[in-house]
């Protein structure tokens, strides 16, 4: 493989992800440049980028300095959703990875985004990893048969609770506005609004939201990239002319990935979060989205999801 910059291969990298994601169990959204470049720029700005390309595909790594030597990872060194190794033939790709391992100086390499049921995982096992990290679990709602089929799979208790929340919010006068920002200016306007909502949320009090945080800078940069391809989706819940909640995510092909949501903590009785999830899922189903990736596993998401998608990270020491 030849060394290159990521910008040299970015278009080919994303095209390859789209072509192989389903067959190799690779995250089709979080493995794209739209996710991994903002992650690397925001959270690992000082790490050296080691990017390689060849007939077998592409390998994109970061080198993180540690007292024991370099730790190599993919560009997504935060959540580990993305695979750093992208190519149509896992055998040839991992053969090239093995040659790189013999040439590079490092302490340990982390190869993330591996589906344990995939051929790519099987090939990486042949490299003799010392072990695997805990899984990166995503909550998935299946919308391929439409909204009615999805809600029909929910428990009767959850259906009553969700419909009551929607009725309560709408009876109070809350409306939901859906946007697809496509330019940096439109993203800037949307982010001004959603950051104003964040200021009223419990997340800001806990320093876990988007206001003045690395997570906020990452989400903004990522949103701009998805917006440029027409993939960004934003919904605002509005009451008396003001925004009181939002959801932001992106669609690629027939899959949608939720990024962040929040709501004004002054209205706990209105279940704004449930209202937004209801409208998000109904809207996605109408759009023809088949898969709603709700992101990292959290207890509240279990009621909405049909299954869990899990990937692991192989830890490969230098020998």
Report the percentage of the chain scoring pLDDT > 90. 95
Which pLDDT value is given to residue 206? 63
| Residues 314 and 132 sit within 8 Å (Cβ to Cβ) | yes
Which has the higher per-residue pLDDT, 202 or 188? 188
Burial 251-290 (b: 16+ CB within 10 A, else e): bbeebbbbbbbbbbeebeebbbbbbbbbbbbbbbbeeebb
pLDDT > 70 fraction of the chain, expressed in percent and rounded = 98
295-304, Cβ contacts within 8 angstroms, sequence gap of 24 or more: 295/138, 295/139, 295/257, 295/258, 295/259, 296/79, 296/136, 296/137, 296/138, 296/139, 297/137, 297/138, 297/139, 298/139, 301/139, 302/139, 303/154, 303/155, 303/158, 304/139, 304/141, 304/154, 304/277
Q: pLDDT tens digit string along 279-293?
A: 999 999 999 999 999
Name the pTM for this structure: 0.94
Q: What is the pLDDT of residue 134?
A: 77
pLDDT at 226 over 90: yes
Fold of 2-137+310-317: Aminopeptidase (3.40.630)
| pLDDT tens per residue, range 177-187 | 999 999 999 99
Mean pLDDT of the chain: 95
Average pLDDT rounded to a whole number, residues 45-71: 97
Write out pLDDT tens, residues 116-159: 999 999 999 999 999 998 789 999 999 999 999 999 999 999 99
Would you say the CATH fold of 144-289 matches that of 2-137+310-317? Answer: yes
pLDDT digits (tens, 9 = 90+) for 84-104: 999 999 999 999 999 999 999
pLDDT at 208 over 90: no
User: What is the architecture, at CATH level 2, of domain 144-289?
Assistant: 3-Layer(aba) Sandwich (3.40)
Domain residue extents for the chain: 2-137+310-317, 144-289
Residue 261: pLDDT over 70: yes
């Amino acid at each position: 493989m030849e060394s290159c910059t990521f910008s040299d291969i970015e278009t080919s990298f994303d095209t390859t992800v789209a072509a192989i994601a389903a067959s190799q169990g690779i995250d089709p959204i979080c493995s794209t440049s739209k996710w991994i470049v903002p992650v690397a720029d925001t959270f690992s700005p000082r790490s050296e980028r080691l990017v390689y390309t060849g007939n077998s595909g592409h390998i994109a790594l970061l080198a993180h300095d540690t007292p024991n030597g370099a730790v190599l990872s993919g560009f997504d060194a935060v959540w580990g959703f993305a695979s750093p190794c992208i190519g149509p033939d896992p055998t040839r790709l991992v053969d090239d990875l093995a040659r790189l391992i013999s040439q590079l100086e490092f302490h340990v390499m982390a190869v993330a985004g591996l589906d344990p049921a995939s051929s790519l995982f099987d090939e990486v096992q042949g490299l003799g990893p010392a072990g695997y990290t805990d899984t990166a679990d995503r909550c998935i709602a299946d919308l391929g048969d439409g909204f009615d089929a999805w809600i029909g799979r929910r428990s009767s208790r959850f259906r009553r609770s969700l419909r009551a929340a929607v009725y309560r919010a709408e009876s109070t006068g809350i409306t939901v506005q859906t946007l697809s920002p496509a330019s940096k200016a439109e993203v800037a306007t949307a982010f001004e609004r959603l950051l104003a909502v964040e200021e009223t949320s419990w997340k800001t009090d806990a320093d876990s939201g988007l206001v003045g945080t690395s997570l906020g800078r990452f989400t903004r940069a990522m949103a701009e990239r998805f917006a440029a391809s027409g993939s960004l989706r934003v919904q605002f819940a509005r009451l008396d002319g003001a925004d009181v909640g939002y959801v932001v995510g992106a669609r690629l092909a027939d899959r949608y990935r939720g990024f962040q949501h929040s709501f004004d903590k002054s209205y706990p009785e209105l279940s704004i979060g449930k209202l937004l999830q209801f409208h998000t899922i109904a809207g996605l189903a109408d759009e023809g989205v088949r898969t709603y990736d709700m992101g990292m596993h959290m207890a509240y998401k279990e009621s909405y999801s049909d299954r869990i998608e899990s990937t692991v990270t192989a830890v490969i020491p230098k020998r």
